[in-house]
Amino acid sequence: MKRTILSALTVLITSAAVAPVASAIEPASFNIQSTRLEELDSRSKNSVHKLRIEHLNNQSKAIEDIQATRLDALDARTKAVDNVQATRLDGLDARQKNSVHKLRIEHLNTQSKAVENIQAARLEALDARTKNSVHKLRLESLNSPSNAVDNIQAERLNGLDARTKSTIR
């Protein structure tokens, strides 16, 4: 493309340099040469103009392609950032759900322990009542007349043991 432009410029400069000399030497052929020169100029200008337009179009297309590539890269980066952020949000949600779940489990465990403690206290109270009633029943049976005889005999034996021990000493 540069060669074409340079050759067109060379022809143009050469024809411009040769034209005054040729016109001075041959005034009759000046019209023919000037017509040829003008034709050559117009052809050169048209071809140079076409080449410039083509070159600018190619540059425009290249710039558009570069911009499209950059936009695609930016879109890809944006999507990657969005994906990373979505993943982070999912992770945060999972952590938060786990912590809420743990808090619920702790609350339920605390409630279960409280219920167990209440049940244990009730059982102890029931045991104490039962022991008291059994103890009362035993005392009543000891206070009954048949037990009274046993008690008297036990007292007598205790007294005899005491006398025996005192005489032995």
Over residues 54-95, the pLDDT tens digits come to 998 999 999 999 999 999 999 999 999 999 999 999 988 888
Question: What integer is the mean pLDDT of 92-119?
Answer: 88
- Helices and strands, number each (H, E), in the chain: 3, 0
Question: What integer is the mean pLDDT of 93-108?
Answer: 86
- The domain limits of the chain are 2-139
The pTM assigned to this predicted structure is 0.36
Give the residue among 42, 34, 28, 29 at the shortest CA–CA distance from 15.
34
Q: Are residues 22 and 29 in contact, defined by beta-carbon separation less than 8 angstroms? A: yes
**How many whole angstroms separate alpha carbon 60 and alpha carbon 64?**
6
Which pLDDT does position 30 carry in this prediction? 60
**How many whole angstroms separate alpha carbon 147 and alpha carbon 20?**
164
